[in-house]
Structure 1
Amino acid sequence: MTIRRFEGYDLVGDIHGCGLSLRMLLARLGYSKRDGTYFHPRRQMIFLGDIVDRGPHIREALHIVRDMVEAGHAQIVMGNHEYNLLCYCTPSRTPEIHPFLREHTQRHRRILQETLQQLDPYPHDKREFLEWMKQMPLFLEMDDFRVVHACWHDELITQFKEMMGGNRINDDFLHRSSIPDTFEWVLMDRLLRGTHLKLPNNEVMVSRDGFKRHFFRTKFWSVEPQLFIDVAFQPDPLPEHVARMPLTAHNRQDLVHYDETQKPLFIGHYWCEGEPRPVSTNIACLDYSAVKYGKLVAYRYDHERELRSDKFVWIDVRAEIKKPE
């Protein structure tokens, strides 16, 4: 079997059903179709997860991405939205307690409603996509860079590799991951949802997507942070009185630090804004909220040690017709 060697990699952030924008981005990056599947003669694409939910062309995006992965023209890591969909659709082994691994609450249904509406009319596709999602790697460790959807946590990843012998879950792991505070639950929460801190004094924030939240997303690369605002990493600003509060010793225990001496790391998940640029010398976040008419962003990686702003490529998403094909 011939192993393809790639000159470089094109890493793409959260697509969230923006299938038309994905086609535009592929064209801009020099990918074209061969035998019905997008490819590049010298490069490979890496998708950072969250292909599903929210957008108007979820099924189309899934077909594009899966076809590229199966043909060897791309790789992918699992996002929290693929994981949520898997758990929502997977029957529990204790149906008398919970019929499914993820409860069918109004909130959970709201998050998944676009995906379910677009896939339910195609049950064969839905079954195949769910099986494929279960096989997605949680992370990629390449010779000179790393990829994970939300947060690279060395200790948890080392434990996972020792337990599973690689970077993929199985059925038993998936079922155990639905039980709070197990190792499996902690690992999936950290790698796919990132680090977060609880708002003090039981305060609640209402985020831009309309959900009430008791936690806020945090940076895992801050050097010697002192205040809450030093670690906040989300588009929704913290309340001013919270932002200026000092971090406690307990808060610091919940933070993780990815040192700038480590390999370049590519993440999605965090809804960045503005013109794409690295968040640190060796970390690039590629989620710029495409589905909210932001940007669908890629980074053209050519083995550089220090990440650069001029390596970002993106499509400005204005409006895709809100109608599945």
Structure 2
Amino acid sequence: MYDIIGDVHGQATLLKKLLQKMGYEKTNGSFSHPGRKAIFVGDFINRGTEIRKTIKIIRSMVESGNAFAILGNHEINAIIYHLTDKQDSLLVKRPNRYYPALIKTIKEFSSPREAEWKDNLNWMRTLPLFLDFGDIRIVHACWSDEAVAIAASVYEEGRIKKKTFRTIHKKADDDITKSVWLLTKGILLKMPSDLHVVNNKGVAPRSFRMRWWEETAGMSFRNLSFESKYTLPDYTVPLQIIPENEPYPNDAPIVFFGHYCRGRGPIVVKPNICCVDSCVTGSGVLTAYRWSGERQLDVGNIVQVK
């Protein structure tokens, strides 16, 4: 059975504490459990102060068969940031939008650890974009059958090749690009320039993260939003501005994901929807869900450390 662990973001001490609380012990350089495996939902780099240690823990567990891990948008950004083109020049020109989020990770792997960081980037490319175990599914931000099918096609010979990440960086309208970002960033509702909806902080956001699993027609801004930092009003969202989405059926397998920084919850959103990202760098809480074969999620199976 599986323990699905939310976005760690460089919090190695909390990760160790969570693993130990769930009965994992370190032997032969890796944390393991006699009857369970961990699953990491991505975004284990950036933000925290123990990024290198975090990667060591997760990578050792994956490579020893004690865990699975998938890519989050932070790992994808890191891979793209360090790519070179055919002339061996950096693909991403500096400075750029990736750098502020990556700065802590880059500093931890500065001289003399550049080779170690390069090796970790190569290892990250061996991680999938989703996992489907039949009864449960794991993705970083949003499950889409169509995006999953496309993402499965880019995983070749045990890794995602660099050409795929070059496509993601260069071709915004490519099906691969759109599928990868859908799986790892979810659906963002972007406000038209002439529409201003003020949240409870007195700010009019230009976009917000959607509850991608819902049937959106007739929903209010508040109910459609899955933002953690503010609340939107109860005005009905005009159908013309809602992006296309694929509601997640109530009878579909349980899906676990991270990404949304739910420091105040909910963790279990619906009987088959679970967001294990508890905003570790903001709330100081790291979350796992212990799945043991149940068909419907049970809040009693949530484990947290602070």
CA distance in 2, matches of 1:205, 1:118: 40
Q: Give the equivalent residue in structure 2 for 1:190.
A: 182
CA distance in 2, matches of 1:83, 1:206: 32
- What is the letter of the counterpart of residue 119 of structure 1? F
Residues 186, 283 of structure 1: alpha-carbon distance in 2 compared, 3 angstrom cutoff: same
- DSSP-derived class of the 1:152 partner: coil
Q: Give the equivalent residue in structure 1 for 2:55.
A: 62
In 1, are the aligned partners of 2:154 and 2:164 still within 8 Å (CA)?
no
Q: Give the equivalent residue in structure 2 for 1:307.
A: 297
**Match 1:110 to one of 97, 100, 116:** 100
The question of 1:138 aligning with 2:126 is answered no
- What is the letter of the counterpart of residue 27 of structure 1? Q
- What is the letter of the counterpart of residue 261 of structure 2? W
The question of 1:27 aligning with 2:20 is answered yes
**Match 2:77 to one of 84, 99, 103:** 84
The question of 1:272 aligning with 2:262 is answered yes
Point out where structure 1 has 5 or more consecutive residues left out of the alignment: 1-7, 317-325
Per-residue deviation, 1:124: 2.1
- What is the letter of the counterpart of residue 187 of structure 2? T
CA distance in 2, matches of 1:11, 1:268: 10
Q: Tell me the matched-pair count.
A: 299
CA distance in 2, matches of 1:265, 1:167: 24
**Match 1:259 to one of 249, 256, 269:** 249
Per-residue deviation, 1:230: 2.0
Residues 101, 153 of structure 1: alpha-carbon distance in 2 compared, 3 angstrom cutoff: farther
- What is the letter of the counterpart of residue 284 of structure 1? C
Residues 283, 101 of structure 1: alpha-carbon distance in 2 compared, 3 angstrom cutoff: farther
Cα deviation per residue 1:250-286 (whole Å; 9 max; x = unaligned)? 41x4333111111000000001022553111101000
- DSSP-derived class of the 1:187 partner: helix
Per-residue deviation, 1:236: 2.5
CA distance in 2, matches of 1:150, 1:66: 21
Q: Give the equivalent residue in structure 1 for 2:168.
A: 177
CA distance in 1, matches of 2:159, 2:142: 16
CA distance in 1, matches of 2:260, 2:187: 11
Residues 225, 271 of structure 1: alpha-carbon distance in 2 compared, 3 angstrom cutoff: farther
- DSSP-derived class of the 2:305 partner: strand
Q: Give the equivalent residue in structure 1 for 2:222.
A: 229
Residues 40, 269 of structure 1: alpha-carbon distance in 2 compared, 3 angstrom cutoff: same
Provide the TM-score with structure 2 as the length reference: 0.90
Provide the TM-score with structure 1 as the length reference: 0.85
Residues 19, 163 of structure 1: alpha-carbon distance in 2 compared, 3 angstrom cutoff: closer
Q: Give the equivalent residue in structure 2 for 1:5.
A: none
In 2, are the aligned partners of 1:138 and 1:168 still within 8 Å (CA)?
no
- What is the letter of the counterpart of residue 19 of structure 2? L
Per-residue deviation, 1:190: 0.2
Per-residue deviation, 1:248: 1.4
Per-residue deviation, 1:64: 0.4
Residues 84, 163 of structure 1: alpha-carbon distance in 2 compared, 3 angstrom cutoff: closer
Map 1:150-229; keep pairs closer than 5 Å.
150-162=141-153, 164=155, 168-178=159-169, 179-201=171-193, 214-226=206-218, 227-229=220-222
CA distance in 2, matches of 1:49, 1:168: 16
Which shows bigger deviation, 229-238 or 12-21?
229-238
In 1, are the aligned partners of 2:189 and 2:210 still within 8 Å (CA)?
yes
- DSSP-derived class of the 1:291 partner: helix
In 1, are the aligned partners of 2:154 and 2:161 still within 8 Å (CA)?
no
Per-residue deviation, 1:229: 1.9
Q: Give the equivalent residue in structure 2 for 1:244.
A: 235
- DSSP-derived class of the 1:288 partner: coil
Per-residue deviation, 1:237: 2.1
In 2, are the aligned partners of 1:277 and 1:308 still within 8 Å (CA)?
no
In 2, are the aligned partners of 1:52 and 1:81 still within 8 Å (CA)?
yes
Cα deviation per residue 1:76-99 (whole Å; 9 max; x = unaligned)? 01000000000011113478xxx5
Residues 91, 225 of structure 1: alpha-carbon distance in 2 compared, 3 angstrom cutoff: same
RMSD: 2.5
- What is the letter of the counterpart of residue 167 of structure 2? R
Per-residue deviation, 1:109: 1.4
The question of 1:293 aligning with 2:293 is answered no
State the identity %.
30
Q: Give the equivalent residue in structure 1 for 2:35.
A: 42
- What is the letter of the counterpart of residue 190 of structure 2? K
